[in-house]
Structure 1
Amino acid sequence: MAILLVYVDDIILTGKSTTELHKIQQLLHKTFQVKDLGSLRYFLGFEIARTNKGISINQGKYTLEIVSDAGLLGYKLAPTLMLHGTHLFQDSSTPYQDAPAYRRMIGRLIYLTNTMPNISFTVNQLAQFMTTPTTMHHVAAIRVIKYIKGTPALGLFYPASSTLHIKAYNDSDWTSCPNIKDLFPDIAST
């Protein structure tokens, strides 16, 4: 089996048989000018490192670009993603003046969740307000960026040998959401 991942003019080719991979590479080279860059190290903002212990994937450079573009390189780190007791909801407070910039920021954070699943919940919460963000939502997004600034190379590690263990977690307090009353009035009253 060989796997070919294509994005515009970038191709990742992988598989178990080096002979088979070499044949595919030659076939591609007959039609396109192909340059072999060796082992995968960087692709679409992902930094990949492979050792005999496993594969490590992070988005360190991409994370620092997010921090830099937000103008937060010189700011203090945030020790947590959100302040304790923060509840994001849609209200009539001051709208954020640059909604497209907020959307771009959240979109970049969504892409970052590929290697930083620890920010997924907060980013998902912030993404719910992309149509009409308020200054409160922007402040919360800035805190996420200050948090990721402290761990830019945090990522995922896939060990070469391991036993698969699936773990799941659940937050059963979903009815505490202030917007739930409008969406599900029957459930919210119970």
Structure 2
Amino acid sequence: MTAAGFSPSFHDPALFVHTSPRGRTLLILYVDDMIITGDDPKYIAFVKARLRDQFLMTDLGPLRYFLGIEVSSTSDGFSISQEKYIQDLLARAALGDERTVETPMELNVKLRPTNGDSLPDPTRYCHLVGGLVYLAVTRPDISYHVHILSQFVSAPTTVHYIHLLRVLRYLRGTITRRLFFPSSSSLQLQCYSDATWTSDPTDRRSLSAYCVFLGGSLVAWKTKKQVAVSRSSVEAELRAMALLIAEVTWLRWLLADFGSLL
């Protein structure tokens, strides 16, 4: 990568950046794949040629489908979704009906490890929750619910499985939802955080959550249980804000690597 003129990012080991008078080129490495993007088509063609000299590789053309994520683009921007992935997940779940629901989980539900009877074989529960964890990459609307369900993968019960099926029925009814990133979006970060004080009835720990917008594009979100018990709702909110600040700091570093320092 360095021989081709790229410089490694100090903030993300998978990111390499090249800057020239004609524009900026980004290269993102994965285990067996890579994505090259930028506004200098001649240099992108040069990099592809250099890579072919060194590695046995196939140029798959413009990004359309990658690691289960579908990408579509127009002049207004591009969108990402996992519609096919949801269909495969529903097929694995083998739901016995075609019902849909309007929300992933009922309001004010607080699940405990002791709810219901233990599942005789937790394998399906674990596989489905694992699928939902990856699906949350493009579906922030299920992030909170997946966080709750994933806490019981070591010993799921019948009640936990019922709530898991509800999330799947919600996805069936919202399968076409996707994230849209407008091409005219500004480069201003807008951040929101929240916390639910002592939301876990078992250990009394609170829950932190945040989302970050870059202009009109949602670029980061997270739901995470706090590492310590907060003694007040104010403390819980401050812990959630601290988690968000760490994420925003990293995003600003990446924007600097992209040449878009705010």
TM-score of the alignment, normalized to the shorter chain, above 0.5: yes
- The answer to whether 1:68 aligns with 2:91 is yes
With over 3 angstroms needed to count, the CA separation of the structure-2 counterparts of 1:95 and 1:27, relative to structure 1, is same
Instruction: Deviation per CA, 1:123-171: give whole Å up to 9, x if none.
Output: 0011111111111111111110110111122121111112335141414
**Partners of 1:67 and 1:73 within 8 A in 2:** no
Instruction: Deviation per CA, 1:100-129: give whole Å up to 9, x if none.
Output: 321111111010111000100010011111
Matched with 2:259 is: none
With over 3 angstroms needed to count, the CA separation of the structure-2 counterparts of 1:185 and 1:40, relative to structure 1, is closer
Deviation at 1:88, TM superposition (A): 1.1
Identity across aligned pairs (percent)?
A: 34
2:79 maps to which of 56, 67, 88? 56
Deviation at 1:51, TM superposition (A): 1.3
Matched with 1:47 is: 70
- Residue correspondence of structure 1 range 72-151 to structure 2 within 5 A: 72=95, 74-91=97-114, 93-151=116-174
SS at match of 2:28: strand
SS at match of 1:85: coil
**C-alpha RMSD of the superposition:** 2.4
- Of structures 1 and 2, the one scoring higher in RCO (CA 8 A, sep 6+) is 1
Whole-angstrom CA distance in 2 between matches of 1:175 and 1:92: 19
Higher helix share: 1
Deviation at 1:81, TM superposition (A): 0.7
With over 3 angstroms needed to count, the CA separation of the structure-2 counterparts of 1:184 and 1:21, relative to structure 1, is closer
**Partners of 2:115 and 2:159 within 8 A in 1:** no
**TM-score calculated relative to the size of structure 1:** 0.87
Matched with 1:153 is: 176
**Partners of 1:63 and 1:148 within 8 A in 2:** yes
Whole-angstrom CA distance in 2 between matches of 1:73 and 1:41: 32
Q: Which moved more, 1:110-119 or 1:161-170?
A: 161-170
Aligned residues: 187
Gaps of 5+ in 2: 1-17, 19-24, 206-226, 233-262
Instruction: Deviation per CA, 1:51-106: give whole Å up to 9, x if none.
Output: 11111011110011111110127421122111233211111631122223211111
**TM-score calculated relative to the size of structure 2:** 0.65
Instruction: Deviation per CA, 1:8-54: give whole Å up to 9, x if none.
Output: 43332212211111111001111233332221000000000111111
**Partners of 2:118 and 2:155 within 8 A in 1:** yes
**Partners of 2:82 and 2:135 within 8 A in 1:** yes
SS at match of 1:13: strand
- Residue correspondence of structure 1 range 163-174 to structure 2 within 5 A: 163=186, 164-172=188-196, 174=197
